[in-house]
Amino acid sequence: MWISFTTDYGRRDGFVAACHGAIAKIEPTARVIDVTHEIMPGDVARGAVVLAQTVGDLPTGVHLAVVDPGVGTARRSIALRAPGGLLVGPDNGLLIWAAEALGGVTDAVELTNPAWFAPVVTRTFHGRDIFAPVAARLAGGAALHEAGPAIDPAVLARLPEPEVESGDGWLAAEVLNVDRFGNVQLAATALPAPVGHQVRIGEQRAVVGETFADVPQGGLVVLLDSAGQLAVAANGAPADDALDVVPGDVVRITVNS
């Protein structure tokens, strides 16, 4: 069984390795795909976006995700079942969009069975002590209901829906993510104008296109990215620098008349 693993742990410390070890000690045959461990610390929304846009490309299995600024507090630890797989992590909105990408939550449980956890559960490292052991047991075929009591999917924590608005000749959308190339991914899923049209983003000029090379070197292009999201990119340069935006900002695109 496959386990995907997404966190904000980074690679400088031993946190990722410790979770891999916790999985291997319980289910040594499980195969782990590291999605990313470079989510900005505590950025639940960015973790949710990356996970939701990745799960469809992964084999059916257990999706373990830990971006958990509320670790050790009253927030629940949960596992979810969707038609396309299982998800394990904190109940802070991190898992919901991925579960919806996998067909929607059909069952949810709160993780309360101590027999499924590490022998000692610390208050600050539930990734190693709760979530990784639970993911390993599920990957090994254990029944979801044995992890803890069922909870109503309707009461699961959700993140606010990203902002998207449009009007006559304009579109405004929240920045979902900025990838390592500086491409600015927006919450919208349709082009603001046909390919080839000129648009403005603040004081910047851009072209609606299909590829990065549809504009000269350094020019801005508005296109649909590989996840089907509207994005602003720059040919050979970081578009986020040109636009001076970060995730959570709103980008307004105006179609030239």
pLDDT of the residue at 256: 78
β-strands 204-208, 198-201: how paired? antiparallel
* Residue-by-residue pLDDT tens, the chain, 257 positions: 999 999 999 999 999 999 999 999 999 999 999 999 999 999 999 999 999 999 999 999 999 999 999 999 999 999 999 999 999 999 999 999 999 999 999 999 999 999 999 999 999 999 999 999 999 999 999 999 999 999 999 999 999 999 999 999 999 999 999 999 999 999 999 999 999 999 999 889 999 999 999 999 999 999 999 999 999 999 999 999 999 999 999 999 999 75
User: What does the block give as tokens for 231?
Assistant: 């994005």
Residue 87 makes CB contacts below 8 A (sequence gap 6+) with: 62, 63, 64, 65, 79, 80, 95, 98, 99, 102
Residue 72 makes CB contacts below 8 A (sequence gap 6+) with: 123, 124, 126
**Per-domain residue ranges of the chain:** 2-155, 164-255
Residue 24 makes CB contacts below 8 A (sequence gap 6+) with: 30, 136
pLDDT of the residue at 257: 58
Pick the CATH number of 2-155 from 2.40.70.10, 3.30.70.20, 3.40.50.720, 3.40.50.10790: 3.40.50.10790
Straight-line distance from the first to the last Cα atom of the chain, in angstroms, rounded to the nearest whole number: 54
Pick the CATH number of 164-255 from 2.40.30.90, 2.120.10.30, 3.30.70.20, 2.40.30.170: 2.40.30.90
Total count of residues recorded for the chain: 257
- DSSP class of residue 160 equals P
Q: Are 49 and 43 in contact (CB under 8 A)?
A: no
pLDDT of the residue at 202: 86
With tokens 């693993």, the residue in question is: 5
**CA atoms 227, 229, 235, 239: torsion sign:** negative
Residue 46 makes CB contacts below 8 A (sequence gap 6+) with: 39, 40, 67, 177, 247
